């Protein structure tokens, strides 16, 4: 008899001792004693001074679920810690690696210095018309103070990407200028989340990764660029972990609302996307997200389902 079957017998008969369980189940007392030890280890019952106390299944399930959640959180934290230790060590190793770099190296490292090194490295080396950019910006003051020409140039490049996700410091949400800029970029297809203390400035775009010379810098003036698919996958996994822990924006209209508002006027999805300054691929993803949100499968049904929301949103 397996432990779960024996537990069912015990719950029905409520014997008070191992001997009574053995008699009830027609089993050898030694065999029953070993099973009771295992059941006690699982927490479904407890033996005190030779007598068996029973736990209500609901109490046991609640405690087991809490323990499981704690174990999952611990394992996730350990996994994030392992990722962070690897990612944190990269800049120092790459600096030394770059000293001995030759043209045949499999992991080319680009080094840039200067006030705009962090932005220019991305603009000069990453693909601008497709793909996914993930970035952490612990200090956004420099980007707010940059010239209108640079803002326009980077705005066009970012809007052409398939997906852009950016983590910013929570403190920036209280800055009206920063919020205004983020709102504009959100309408152009970027997604923002915030956290109290972002770990460091870095970004990953396709197989390209950039990090500061010293991990933890928020406004680096010396940066490393690495083109390597394996390192990019590692950094992207690390970003995904902290993205899940970052806070999504509070309030505001869904990203698909401006697009659907234009489409209600008879404008095609592609034209509406370009009118908003976003890539049509981004527009199609937003429409798909809206369909999922409203639980519909066609554009016509979506137009009907979202009509009231669009009217209320202006």
pLDDT tens, position by position, 27-57: 888 888 998 899 888 887 888 888 888 776 6
Q: Cα angle at 221 between 210 and 226, to 5 degrees?
A: 20
Q: For residues 77 and 84, what is the distance between their CA atoms, to the nearest angstrom?
A: 10
* 116 has a pLDDT exceeding 70: yes
Q: Is the pLDDT of residue 282 over 60?
A: yes
pLDDT at site 62: 53
**Domain with 49 in it:** 3-55
194 & 221 share domain: yes
pLDDT tens per residue, range 59-108? 565 566 556 555 545 554 554 566 666 666 666 666 655 555 544 445 56
Residues 230 and 132 in one domain: yes
Question: Following DSSP, what letter does each residue of 68-104 receive, concatenated?
Answer: HHHHHHHHHHHHHHHHHHHHHHHHHHHHHHHHT--TT
Question: Does one domain contain both 210 and 290?
Answer: no
Closest CA to 179 of 148, 220, 144, 219: 144
- 264 lies in the same domain as 238: no
Domain check: are 9 and 51 in the same one?
yes
Residues 146 and 223 in one domain: yes
Q: What is the CATH classification number for the domain harbouring 278?
A: 1.10.10
Which tokens go with 241? 């972990």
Looking at the fold, whether 156 and 207 belong to one and the same domain comes out as: yes
Domain identity same for 195 and 140: yes
CA 157 centroid distance within chain: 23
Same domain (yes/no): 156, 274: no
pLDDT digits (tens, 9 = 90+) for 229-276: 878 888 888 888 888 888 877 655 677 888 888 888 888 888 888 887
The CATH number for 43's domain is 1.10.10.10
- State in Å, rounded, how far the first CA of the chain is from the last one: 68
**Do 151 and 26 belong together in one domain?**
no
Do 34 and 131 belong to one domain? no
């Amino acid at each position: 008899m397996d432990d779960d079957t024996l537990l069912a017998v015990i719950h029905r008969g409520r014997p008070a001792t191992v001997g009574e369980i053995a008699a009830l189940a027609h089993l050898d007392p030694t065999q029953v004693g070993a099973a009771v030890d295992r059941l006690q280890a699982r927490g479904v019952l407890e033996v005190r001074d030779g007598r068996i106390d029973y736990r209500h299944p609901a109490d046991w399930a609640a405690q087991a679920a809490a323990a499981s959640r704690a174990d999952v959180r611990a394992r996730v934290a350990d996994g994030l810690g392992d990722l962070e230790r690897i990612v944190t060590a990269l800049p120092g190793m790459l600096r030394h690696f770059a000293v001995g770099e030759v043209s045949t190296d499999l992991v080319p490292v680009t080094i840039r210095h200067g006030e705009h090194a962090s932005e220019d490295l991305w603009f000069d080396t990453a693909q601008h018309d497709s793909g996914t950019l993930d970035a952490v910006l612990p200090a956004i003051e420099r980007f707010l103070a940059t010239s209108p020409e640079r803002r326009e140039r980077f705005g066009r490049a970012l809007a052409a990407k398939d997906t852009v996700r950016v983590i910013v410091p929570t403190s920036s949400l209280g800055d009206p200028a920063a919020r205004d800029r983020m709102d504009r970029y959100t309408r152009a297809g970027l997604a923002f989340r915030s956290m109290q203390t972002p770990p460091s400035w870095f970004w990953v775009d396709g197989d390209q990764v950039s990090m500061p010379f010293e991990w933890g810098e928020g406004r680096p003036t010396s940066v490393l660029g690495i083109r390597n698919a394996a390192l990019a996958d590692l950094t992207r996994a690390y970003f995904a972990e902290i993205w899940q822990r970052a806070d999504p924006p509070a309030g505001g209209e869904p990203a698909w609302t401006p697009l659907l508002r234009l489409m209600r006027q008879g404008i095609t999805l592609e034209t509406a996307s370009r009118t908003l300054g976003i890539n049509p691929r981004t527009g199609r993803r937003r429409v798909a997200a809206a369909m999922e949100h409203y639980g519909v499968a066609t554009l016509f049904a979506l137009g009907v389902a979202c009509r009231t929301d669009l009217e209320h949103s202006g």
